[in-house]
Amino acid sequence: MRAPAREKLPDNILNNHKRPFSPGRWLYESSLVPKPFSTDNKEKETMMKRLITVLLILCIPLGLVFSAEVFGGAKAGAAFGWGSGSDWVDGVNFLDDAGRGQPTKVRFGGSFGGYLVFEASANFAAQIEILYSSLGAGFSVTNSGADIDAKQWANLLQWPLLLRIQSPSQNGVIYALIGASPMVILGDIHTEVQSGSSTAGGTVTPDNTFNLAIITGAGYAFSLGPGRLDIELRFLHTMLDIFKNDNSRLNSIDTFFGYSVSQ
């Protein structure tokens, strides 16, 4: 969607706790700009190709589940998220009137849950998880001389399905991860806007509560006490629209520490 001419933020934006403040959503709901056009056939075709790719990726770890040794445990970690997509960037540029807008400010979050590893061989395994996560993004703009910081986040349930390509060593196992994660947004999306000492918050209901994310990463596992400690660094990128006709995407760098019982 092409960004319209810039306009000042409403004077009461920091006092209106019911006003959603997502760049893409703010544009979409504003009566000052035209409604987004419908997704054309080319965009639909691109989305279908992405979904087929995700489904194919999901089939690989699921296929290993039926012929594997199993062990599992619990894990938790931190998430560093930011927004992307042309609608997200256009929204930030629309709100900024000083040329200093930052659309990719990091918002801190985290995840915790459990996981199972189905080890088909020394080199291949499937890793299936269920995670409760708080993921989000931030941005900053300057409008009418005021510096404004905003962040947006949601609580989610994730079910990552990952292929582990392992390389055993004398002291542990180094592995690469690739897969996908179906996820469901729990409740509304939360927003918080801050300018100087003034802060306002609000919520907005997503148009789509279901999403899919691609995950890649790497990890290292080694014996510790009666079990095994896994340390992972992962990248997550969502694939589907949260709001209709808004291609804003969530990205996250995640660090995880997991402890599993012995095989």
> Looking at per-residue confidence, does 170 or 40 come out higher?
170
The residue among 123, 79, 125 whose CA lies nearest residue 236 is 79
Locate 59 and state its tokens. 């089939």
Query: Which sequence spans correspond to the domains of the chain?
Result: 23-261
Q: Which residues touch 109 (CB under 8 Å, ≥6 apart)?
A: 78, 79, 80, 81, 133, 134, 135, 136, 153, 252
- Please give the Cα distance from 31 to 24 (Å, whole number): 14
Give the pLDDT confidence score for residue 221 in this predicted structure: 94
- Please give the Cα distance from 105 to 96 (Å, whole number): 14
End-to-end CA distance of the chain: 52
- Please give the Cα distance from 173 to 168 (Å, whole number): 4
Residues 202/255, Cβ–Cβ less than 8 Å: no
pLDDT tens across 164-202, in order? 999 998 889 999 999 999 999 999 999 888 888 888 888
Average pLDDT of the chain to the nearest whole number: 79
- Please give the Cα distance from 171 to 169 (Å, whole number): 6
> Looking at per-residue confidence, does 102 or 237 come out higher?
237
- Please give the Cα distance from 5 to 9 (Å, whole number): 13
pLDDT tens across 209-242, in order? 999 999 999 999 999 988 899 999 999 999 999 9
Q: Measuring CA to CA, how many Å separate 27 from each of 11, 20, 150, 209, 243?
A: 17, 10, 15, 20, 11
Give the pLDDT confidence score for residue 164 in this predicted structure: 94
Residue 58 has pLDDT above 90, yes or no: no
Locate 246 and state its tokens. 């808004």
pLDDT tens across 113-162, in order? 999 998 888 898 999 999 999 999 999 988 878 888 989 999 999 999 99
Tokens 């619990």 belong to 74
Tokens 């899919």 belong to 212
Residues 118/128, Cβ–Cβ less than 8 Å: yes
Give the pLDDT confidence score for residue 261 in this predicted structure: 81
